[in-house]
Structure 1
Amino acid sequence: MSTSSSTITTIGRTSTTGSHTSSRTSTRSVTTASSSSSPIATPYPAKRGLTYRNVTTLQFYPPPSPYISWSYNYYSLPNASDDVGIYPSSQYRFIPLLYNDADSLTSIWAANVNFSIANYGTDAIFGFNEPDANFNGQSANMPVAQSIQGYHNFMQPFAGRVKIGAPAVTNAGGGLTYLAQFLGNATQQNLTMDFLNIHWYASPYNIDYFESYLAQAYNLSVSYSPAGAAPLPIWVTEFGMDQDFYDQPTTAQFLKNATRFMDAQTWVERYAWFGNFPGGYTAFGTPTTNMLLNVDGSARSVLGDVWYSYNGTN
């Protein structure tokens, strides 16, 4: 495997978030493998996840899979109210998500997470979906202080039982700034974070941007890691295309490049494409060319085939 050694440097800064002030500079060398590298050596890391709405769509990814190990559906149980079917408990780990801090979600959160831990292999939980953004009401849209309070009330009680992810932030402009402010406050209040959670959308011609954005997120993790502690790994729980005019072969090549890159980085722990939906499904305005299923949802699409079986060899 050809590798390139890149240095991720945290710029010395003074940041104030609440009453937390920190100023430090750290430089650590991270070995990264280019997306054009030769194939990943076996055993292949099963970092891929499935972002789904209807639980029956998981049938198109029969286990065992050397590449897929988990799933989530933006809810705290694997069968949301509009789902059809029963979650296959022996298939992929289910990761509950607390979308925002609405009473209708928080009132059932603890019970649902406990049930998922007992029945669905849950080993991590997600908190707050895109609190840094407001995309036509389809994001959490929460100030940092509100997110911190929500983590204290609803996420921290599970510390030590499952991994706790930081809020999922976007690449829309202020996502990493929001995350930095959140981490500063979380450090001050001794909240537990086990990984960072990011989303990314752009064009299939922007693989360099994709790789550099992930490196920026990891750089942020490095800067907020206590002295002597390992930086928090990155989970990419949504990534995809930002427009609908890219053809599937072009998007599929981007997907191959992106998965090859992420599988080569030890600091990328898990990732999920958006999403495992029928090709005619435009969730939150997401282009139909992003989808892992065909138009009527009866089989995997070209992208779905890549997701299920791509082994990094071309």
Structure 2
Amino acid sequence: MRPSLLALGLLSAPALTAKSPKRGLAAVGNKDWPEDDAIWVHQDSPISWYYNFYWNVSDSYAALPQDQVEFVPMMWGGGVNDTDFLGNMTEMIQPSSGAGGRNITHILAFNLPDRPFTAGGSQMEPADAAKAWVRNLLPLREKFGVKVGLPAVGDPYGGWVEPFLKNCSSLNDGKDCAFDFVPLHSFGSLGVLMDQIGNFSSAFPGHPLWIVEYGYNDQSLATTQDYFNQSLAFLDGNEIVERYSWFGFFRSTVSNVGPNMAMLDPWGNLTDIGSWYLGGNATGKAAMPSDTPRTDACTAEHPCIGGAKKNDGADLPSVRVGLWSAAAAMFLLLLS
């Protein structure tokens, strides 16, 4: 049963004074404004974990220990006929050099394998995904005790998970291929988020949920902020939800989910949502000011807090960057 939307509407994002075990970041790194990456991981940041759709740490965070901000590797897709992911993870956890390894405790597996590449998915047949799981993920769980997430499907009842688990069991000498938590995405209203959580918790009872990407995309600023505050309070108070990550960490000019979901404005300053996500107060900086051209030029009126390019002030084009597609392209490049 859903909690009262009216009651949720009276809640706002709580101020945080310490690390939140739930609050994380879906961060691929910022090649245009790398200084932005430091915004999220300062000493007092409540963000406790991040992932980047890849097996290796982000360059900006490579020197940070796991107890400051936990890196969660992802096997995005593929790997049907190889054990590259297993090898990379084994070397990271237990280096052959004898040096101290990284304490990897959780791994994400297969991003939207039930969706095509064109929709941001990893487009894997259940039988192929099972082979990749048994070759790469099962040994990590058994040898190192790493907790592994179920593949993050778009629909738990869509016909992908059941054949995946059956194939996996068949390859695992008839034993179930156990998983430890269930990742999911949710883009839509608060009702959509609640329904998603209800559907996934019903489909996989007893397993904690990770909302690895979520938000109310392409909405007005007021609607987006209301949703943010209500959803954050809901997720923080929901025992089934173990972790979550708002989408996204990027500047509004490169957002593919509408500018108002971005946690940074065009100049790298924290928006209200960005500041709230870090446990701070409203900044009053709109994600995309209506009276301001789309520019990343540093000016006295718009100083570049996060490290924007210092250019001649030319307006940026209207950018609709598909971050999922970028992740897919990166993965396919690695396979080639």
For normalisation by structure 2, the TM-score amounts to 0.66
Question: Is residue 19–residue 48 contact of structure 2 (8 Å, CA) maintained in 1?
Answer: no
Instruction: Say whether residues 1:74 and 2:39 are aligned partners.
Output: no
Matched-pair contact (CA < 8 Å) for 1:94–1:121: no
CA distance in 1, matches of 2:216, 2:85: 33
Counterparts in 2 of 1:65 and 1:120: CA distance versus 1, 3 Å: farther
Following the alignment from structure 2 to structure 1, what is the Cα–Cα distance between the partners of residues 181 and 237?
18
Cα gap change, 1:59/1:260 in structure 2, threshold over 3 Å: closer, same or farther? same
Distance 1:199 1:178 in 2: 17
Partner of 2:310: none
Matches within 5 A, 1:223-234: 231-234=206-209
The structure number with the bigger radius of gyration is 2
Rounded Cα–Cα distance in structure 2 between residues aligned with 1:176 and 1:95: 26
By how many angstroms is 1:114 displaced? 4.3
1:308 corresponds to = 278
Alignment partner of 1:166: what SS? Answer: coil
Aligned counterpart, 1:110? 87
Q: Deviations over 1:149-179 (max 9, x none)?
A: 2111111111152110001122xxx454246
C-alpha contact (below 8 Å) 1:98/1:126 kept by paired residues: yes
Aligned partner of 1:195 in structure 2 is 181
Would you say 1:208 and 2:187 are equivalent positions?
A: no
Structure 1 residues 179 and 65: alpha-carbon distance in aligned structure 2, compared to 1, 3 A threshold: farther
Listed as ranges, the gaps of 5+ residues in structure 1 are 1-5, 8-29, 223-230
Instruction: Give 5+ residue unaligned stretches, structure 2.
Output: 95-99, 282-336
Post-superposition CA distance 1:193-239 (Å, at most 9, x none): 0001111112xxx21221121011001112xxxxxxxx111111011
Q: Which residue of 1 aligns with 2:288?
A: none
Aligned residues of 2:111 and 2:152 also touching (Cα < 8 A): yes
The number of aligned residues is 260
Cα distance, 1:248 vs structure 2 = 3.0
Q: Does 1:273 align with 2:246?
A: yes
Matched residue type, 2:158? T
- One of 264, 285, 294 as aligned partner of 1:293: 264
Q: Secondary structure at the match of 2:184?
A: strand
Specify whether residues 63 and 263 from structure 1 end up closer, same or farther in structure 2 by C-alpha distance, changes over 3 A only: same
Question: Is the strand fraction higher in 1 or 2?
Answer: 1
TM-aligned CA distance change 1:94 to 1:104, over 3 Å = farther
- Structure 2 counterpart of 1:235: 210
Cα 1:207–1:154, aligned 2, differ >3 Å: closer, same or farther?
Answer: same
Q: Distance in 2 between matches of 1:104 and 1:94?
A: 26
Distance 1:306 1:195, change over 3 A: same
Post-superposition offset of 1:137: 5.9
Alignment match, 1:177: 158
- Pair 120,293 (structure 1): closer, same or farther in 2 beyond 3 Å: farther
**C-alpha distance 95-307 of structure 1, shift in aligned 2 (>3 A):** same
CA 1:111/1:65 → structure 2, altered by over 3 Å: closer, same or farther? same
Deviations 1:95-145 (A, max 9, x none): 000111147995255324641686554320011111111251632011222
Q: CA deviation at 1:76?
A: 0.6
| SS of residue in 1 equivalent to 2:273 | helix
1:212 counterpart letter in structure 2: D
2:125 pairs with 1:143: yes
Q: 2:57 corresponds to which letter in structure 1?
A: P
Give the conservation status (yes or no) of the 8 Å contact 1:144–1:182: yes
Match in the other structure for 1:153: 135
| 2:138 maps to amino acid | Q
> CA-to-partner distance for each residue in 1:216-270, whole Å, 9 max, x for gaps?
1001112xxxxxxxx1111110112343xx2334212211111111111111100
Q: Structure 2 vs 1, CA of residues 104 and 35 (structure 1 numbering), >3 Å: closer, same or farther?
A: farther
Specify whether residues 189 and 149 from structure 1 end up closer, same or farther in structure 2 by C-alpha distance, changes over 3 A only: farther
- Looking at structure 1, the residues matched to 46 and 60 of structure 2 have their Cα atoms a distance apart, in angstroms, of 25
Distance 1:182 1:234, change over 3 A: farther
Q: 1:303 to 1:101 in 2, by over 3 A?
A: same
Letter of the 1:164 counterpart: V
Amino acid at match of 1:97: M
| TM-aligned CA deviation for residue 61 of structure 1 | 2.5
Q: What is the CA RMSD across the aligned residues, in angstroms?
A: 3.4
Using a 3 Å threshold, how does the CA distance of structure 1 residues 291 and 121 change in structure 2: closer, same or farther?
Answer: farther
Identity level (%): 20
CA distance, structure 1, for counterparts of residue 225 and residue 81 of structure 2: 38
Q: 1:145 to 1:67 in 2, by over 3 A?
A: same
Q: Output the TM-score relative to the length of structure 1.
A: 0.71
